Amino acid sequence: MNDSASSALTSSASPELRAAFAAAYREAQRQNLGQSSAALALRAAATACRQVLAERWAQTQAQDAQRPASGEAVRRVHYLSMEFLMGRALSNALAALGLQGDLQALLAAEGLSLGEVLEREPDAALGNGGLGRLAACFLDSFAELGLPSFGYGLRYQYGMFAQAIQDGRQVEAPDDWMRLGAPWEVRREQVRYRVGFGGRVELDAGGQRRWLPAELLEAQAFDFIVPAHHSERVSTLRQWQASAVAPIDFKAFCQGDYAAAARHRVAADALNWVLYPDDSSESGRELRLKQEAFLVSASLQDLLARHLTEGAPLHELGRRNAIHLNDTHPALAPAELMRLLLDEQGLGWDEAWAITRQAVSYTNHTLMPEALETWPVRMFEALLPRHLEIIYEINHRFLSELRQRFPGDEGLLARVSLIDEGSPFGGERRVRMAALSIVASHRVNGVAALHSELMVQTIFADYAAIFPERFHNVTNGVTPRRWLQQANPALSALIDGRIGSAWRQDLAGLAQLKPAADDAEFGRQFMAVKRANKQRLAERVRAELGLVINPDSLFDVQIKRIHEYKRQLLNILHVIARYQAIIANPQANWTPRTVLIAGKAASAYVAAKSIIQLAHDVGRVVNSDPRVGDKLKLVFLPNYGVSLAETIIPAADLSEQISTAGTEASGTGNMKFALNGALTIGTWDGANIEMAEAFGPENMFCFGLRTEAVAQMKALGYDPRLFVEENRQLAQVMEAIASGAFSGGDRERYRALVDSLLGRDVYMLMADFKDYVATQARVDALFAQPEAWARQAVLNVAGMGWFSADRTITEYVDRVWSVKSLG
């Protein structure tokens, strides 16, 4: 690769690395705990890179501490997120440091290949899906753009569960990702804070309210360093680990009550224990609320300590620091900041509130009302009594203001109150975390144009009427370093050869690739790269699943969390329809197709698990039918995660982005695929729309009802049966599932799935089926003309320049995090 910027770094960093690696490798060998030499080399390489990065970290922090004291100075951004889906770190660090070649040579001397060592690294999967991966892409952009920043998260012992498949069913296993150690982390011995829970609030002699927590935990910082690729800046992900302040109750211990003696310790461990494996809210679980409060309190104490250490006046805190809430999971932040400013720093309410409002901003990630986080007031009383008082006070002031602005509108007040009063017929009082986030923020944004528009028209319509100036859009993006440069070296090299390598830093430069779309030779080279990537994936499928797939078939890919709204089921219905059509007419000129699906279902999500099982049942029947051959295959790849995505996406011809219009907030998977030259079959939803506008809707396979049509059809009384009755093909597909054609005659296995499709069909699969299948036929026709296909694929790549996370972060800085945005 001819990346001039990083090769400039290579020469300076290389001798350092050579020495560091050699020392770390010797040390690893000396300690050898029966590990393979590849595992030892991985540890040594990580340790060596970490040393280089640790120096850069210190430099970065020193630079940031010296930014000007006031005026239009850049604010430091504190990105609070319960999830960071980082994936592997070594190949990214090597690329950033320009050290792949050096390490490759060092490893060769030990008889090892770089690829083998890279594959050893477990994914850091401290997130569920898109929201967590977005946070990870943002950290990369923070470093690349040199933005003073901290990502804040929790150091979960167990990340996203590992998915295995037994008899076609998902089985979850714990993800013990640190069992071989955590070579990337830097433990910050000095950085510790106390976080309280429970207890009561007292009025002290001076009339100040004081919280006396019943339980105290200690938060210890572990830093994960994320390097820039084109400078020596790094960004930091600071993850908190809980421990008991008094790990042992000595009195209980002496009385022989060991369980009681270890109680605090067990409680602290529980806090770090596990990432809640759900991609929507986990309402009602006390441990989750404790995790959220712990993240928020430790992070804000850290921010405050740094602000004061830098010698800046307290009243400047909001102008010098941005606190961003990645969804409502860290929504306690405003309450905690108020507590710190009022109770610990002695500020008055108005001053504290002004600072808080300047600092806080919030991104919403979902429109589904049932996914909006709320917590029982009762739980707050027990765990966070002082925060509850502060939330009541915020609410009281907010509602008083509204009473003056909108006299007599009690309905509005009840709808927007931070407290859901429940109903007279039951339902307890609850705290609405989205309401708290909006009221305490100076900016609220959605993650794609359509989503931001629907957000102010539907779930947040009342707040948008009250605070119209707060609501904005910032469309998501992905980092081109991981998702093109590292995941797809062959395509990267092809692009470099045509337009140079500057796109890594400024993805908008991909637009220069546009003329290459009409260059047939470039198109052939593009297809050759794709073919090689497909070959590699086919080998992996053979090795892992024992299944032979044809790399010349169309690779039709849907990988993402399994969710009804994402409609993997619609994809499977199409596979069944195609299977039946092939059986009916095996001699027709079929475009061979391999459908690949991957994704995890939340462990308690019955319908999603049933979809996984159906994919396996249909795959078993289709893949073993000799009449079908390689005209059609359905493959489910287990244990979807960042690393698997990095191998699958470069090999995709077709990207399935088929959510019901109005349900997918943005999607980022859609962006990764198009950036790697897959064409999209997609609904007019989320960021699909902006992608289509960027490279031309004629270069995307758009289908299905649009948002307004979905709403209209629902309003008129949607009856899915009408669609089944008028479409023989659909009727046959439904009949085959219901009759047990894929479940060995078992008619019960998919009864619930079939009933829900024929009953309410909330996500309108029946309504969209016909257009989907017709559009898939257009896909076949284009794929049969490789030149035309390549042309559109290259136009997709060329049009993706705007979807870089660097652009997204530049917009956040401009509209949300800059001093200017404070008005």
Using CB under 6 A as the criterion, which residues of the chain lie in contact with ligand PLP when the complex forms? 85, 129-130, 133, 560-561, 641-642, 645, 667-669, 672
Catalytic residue among 560, 567, 631, 633: 560
Based on CB atoms, which residue is closest to ligand PLP, 133 or 238? Answer: 133
State the nearest-atom distance from the C-beta of 132 to ligand PLP, in Å: 8
Rounded distance between C-alpha atoms, residue 445 and residue 528, angstroms: 41
Q: Which two tokens stand for residue 119?
A: 């594959």
**214: how many CB neighbours lie within 10 A of its CB?**
12
CB closer to ligand PLP, 578 vs 600: 600
Whole-angstrom distance, CA of residue 384 vs CA of residue 200: 9
R_g of the chain, CA atoms, integer Å: 27
∠ Cα 348 397 424 (to 5°): 140
- Residue 574 designated active-site: no
> Which one from 238, 566, 567, 807 is the annotated catalytic residue?
566
Answer yes or no: 251 catalytic. Answer: no
The residue from 50, 561, 567, 791 that is catalytic is 561
Residue 58: other Cβ atoms inside 10 A: 11
Joined tokens for residue 227: 């390097």
- The minimum distance between CB 560 and ligand PLP, in angstroms, equals 3
Nearer to ligand PLP among residue 610 and residue 668 (C-beta): 668
Smallest separation (angstroms) from ligand PLP to the CB of 284: 25
The residue (of 642 and 813) whose beta carbon lies closer to ligand PLP is 642
Question: Annotated catalytic, 264?
Answer: no
Structure tokens of 754? 């079939």
Q: CB-wise, 330 or 667, nearer to ligand PLP?
A: 667
Which residue's Cβ has the minimum distance to ligand PLP? 669
- Rounded least distance, CB 640 to ligand PLP, Å: 6
Q: What's the min distance (Å) between Cβ of 161 and ligand PLP?
A: 13
Nearest distance from C-beta of residue 136 to ligand PLP, angstroms: 9
Q: Which candidate in 133, 238, 365, 481 is catalytic? A: 365
Residue 561 appears among annotated catalytic residues: yes
Contacts for 383 with CB less than 8 Å, ≥ 6 apart: 197, 198, 286, 289, 290, 293
Q: Which long-range contacts (CB under 8 A, 24 or more apart) does 17-21 make?
A: 17/48, 17/49, 17/52, 17/97, 17/99, 17/102, 17/103, 18/102, 18/106, 20/47, 20/48, 20/51, 20/52, 21/45, 21/48, 21/103, 21/106
Q: How far apart are the C-alpha atoms of 746 and 743, rounded to whole Å? A: 5
Q: Which is nearer to ligand PLP, 159 or 523 (CB)?
A: 159
Beginning with the edge strand found earlier in the chain, give each strand of the sheet holding 554-559 in spatial order: 632-636, 593-598, 554-559, 654-657, 679-682, 701-702
**Nearest distance from C-beta of residue 611 to ligand PLP, angstroms:** 15
Q: Of these residues, 236, 668, 680, 775, which one is catalytic? A: 668
DSSP for 289-356 reads HHHHHHHHHHHHHHHHHHHHHTT--GGGHHHHEEEEEESSTTTTHHHHHHHIIIIIT---HHHHHHHH
Closest to ligand PLP by CB, 119 vs 726, is: 119
Q: Please identify which of the residues 672, 749, 791, 807 carries the catalytic annotation.
A: 672
Residues in CB range of 631: below 8 A, 6 or more apart: 582, 586, 590, 592, 593
Identity (one letter) of the amino acid at 431?
Answer: V
Work out how close the CB of 487 gets to ligand PLP at its nearest, in angstroms, rounded to a whole number: 10
514 is known as an active-site residue: no
Q: Is 728 a catalytic residue?
A: no
Q: How far apart are CA 803 and CA 675, in angstroms?
A: 9
When the beta carbons of 118 and 577 are compared against ligand PLP, the nearer one is: 118
Neighbours of 624 (CB within 10 A): 8
Angle between helices 786-798 and 520-545 (to 10 degrees): 90
Active site residues: 365, 560-561, 566, 668, 672
